[in-house]
Amino acid sequence: MSLSFANSIAVQSRTRALVPLCVGAGAYLFFLFLGDSLLQDSDSFWQIKIGQWILDHGAMPTTDFYSFTRMGAPWISTSWLSQVAFAFSHAQWGWAGPVILTAVALALAVAIFVHLLDAQIEAPRAVLFATLALLLSIHHVLARILALPVMVAWVGLLMAAADRKSAPSWTWLPLMALWANLHGGFVLGLALVGPISLEAVEHAEKGRRLSLFMRWVLFGIGALIASCCTPYGWRTLQGASNVLRLGELLSLICEWMPANFATFTPFEGALLALIAFGYYRGLVLSAPRIFLILFLTWSALTHVRSIEAFAFLVPLVLARPLGEMFPRRTPDATGADRWPARTVTALAALMIVAAGWTSTSLYMGHHRFTFTMRQTPVAAVDLLERRKVQRIFNAYQFGGYLISRDIPVFVDGRAELYGEKFVMDFFEATEGRKPELLPRLLDEYKIDATLLVADAPGPQILDQLKGWKRIYADDVAVIHVRDTADGAAAPSK
């Protein structure tokens, strides 16, 4: 009986160790199969272009050199490391490179997520949370999120320290430095240090609360310093916060829009389920945990791009209370069959990785990833290049593609560069809110041609605008030029 019991412990140990890797491998293959759906964000074009510029010049951009409206204006890239990684992968493997990198990042995030949850709750519940997190994120996953696993690891480690009523290890600070080089969202990680520290201090013994609080304060200062360990230094903080100062404009940019409950969404279902579970099970949380959940929920309601943070971080905040509510059944004996268990686990892990690599090679052998045509006005831009047009008044979502073709843009996805008033005037002029602004912008910036979205109000306004004529239209884009331009253009379709 004792031998059977020891064997069961060894099997359980091997199984638990492989669960995060298996879930991560499943997520990787899933998003690799859905790879084309990741290529829908036109910002990917200029992200890759900037990454390639960094590789070519061995320097960091400090001014704009892609637009003719802000040429030479101060601008820094707060995602330079991600851009370099995507540019390198794109140069090597085309669009398959960014897709594979994104799938790997998601796999790492899910594996880390399940591993962290598994310390508190049963593996099936951890896998369920991971599945729900992916479901909530699936419509917001784009090929530029290499920072997601770092975010999950950072918050998970901080919550683990709080659960132990101790301070975080200084060895975790490089995570913040990495996050700050990958994406401007690192400011979220800095903001969460405070409330998580209160969770640790609140449940510590009274005699050591002050010393514990001071250790968290020192760690927070260290994290702030680590976030400045980038090529831009302290300017990284300023660059990351510039987006948050765009005011009303944020409500017009898709990823910064507030959540829309006009139709039922998985996010709405998750919120309702969270509320129902709290009432049904009588879930009791400390004040800092309540604040963390409310803050993450508010962020997701305010900006849809924050739904990923809600999906992955709220379960980490709830892990300890859920573990106490549903205790894990753990055998008393530990360490049985220790080294064979580790050996088998390592071999199984290698087999899973090898299977993922083989699946990728086979899939890539007969599939070519392509960017969605709704964001790439190829034919229209070809025509503009043949006409040698110099100053193009382009749609916001076409800016990235024009940059990839080395064509100076009027505007693109770097809204923090152009500023709230400039982009608001652009949207109001082209969306029909203030059509009288359109001729003023065209004259002020000496526009030669316009390249606008086919189903937007802008082209219809231009059809009625004296001095402009439509020369091309397809399902993606419409081109108008001044009447004084050469009339030998391709006929409208």
* Cβ-contact 175, 181 below 8 angstroms: no
* Cβ-contact 77, 109 below 8 angstroms: no
Tell which phi-psi region holds residue 77, choosing left (phi > 0), alpha (psi between -120 and 50) or beta: beta
* Cβ-contact 127, 19 below 8 angstroms: yes
Chain center to CA of 444: 36
Residue 251 is predicted with a pLDDT of 74
Q: What's the DSSP call for residue 349?
A: H
Residues 6 or more apart from 7 whose CB is under 8 A from it? Answer: 336, 337
CA triplet 353, 359, 363: central angle to 5 degrees?
A: 150
Written as six digits, the tokens of 257 are 């829009």
Residue 39 is predicted with a pLDDT of 83
Tell which phi-psi region holds residue 329, choosing left (phi > 0), alpha (psi between -120 and 50) or beta: beta
Give the C-alpha separation, 325 to 331, whole Å.
18
Per-residue pLDDT in tens (0 to 9) along the chain, 493 residues: 443 434 444 444 456 678 888 899 999 998 888 888 778 788 889 999 999 999 999 999 999 999 999 999 999 999 999 999 999 999 999 999 999 999 999 999 999 999 999 988 888 889 999 999 988 887 776 656 899 999 999 999 999 999 999 999 999 999 999 999 999 889 999 999 999 999 999 888 888 889 999 999 999 999 999 999 999 999 988 888 777 777 777 777 777 778 888 888 888 999 999 999 888 888 889 999 999 999 999 999 988 888 999 999 999 999 999 988 887 665 444 444 455 656 766 777 788 888 888 888 888 778 888 877 677 899 999 999 999 999 999 999 999 999 999 999 999 989 889 988 999 999 999 988 888 899 999 999 999 999 999 988 999 999 998 899 999 999 999 999 998 744 444 444 4
Written as six digits, the tokens of 186 are 């690192």
Residue 144 is predicted with a pLDDT of 64
Q: Which pTM value belongs to this model?
A: 0.88
Residue 240 is predicted with a pLDDT of 80
Burial (0-12, 13-18, 19+ Cβ within 10 Å), 216:
buried
Residue 239 is predicted with a pLDDT of 81
- Give strand ranges (E) for 355-453: 392-394, 449-453
Q: Where are the domains of the chain?
A: 2-346, 373-482
Element (H, E) at 85: helix 80-93
Beta-strand relationship, 449-453 and 392-394: parallel
Give the C-alpha separation, 40 to 203, whole Å.
46
Give the C-alpha separation, 490 to 278, whole Å.
63
* Cβ-contact 39, 398 below 8 angstroms: no
Written as six digits, the tokens of 272 are 């309702």
Closest CA relative to residue 273, chosen from 283, 259, 287, 262: 283
Give the C-alpha separation, 413 to 408, whole Å.
13
* Sheet strands side by side (includes 477-482): 392-394, 449-453, 477-482, 468-473
CA pseudo-torsion sign 131, 137, 141, 146: negative
Give the C-alpha separation, 439 to 295, whole Å.
43
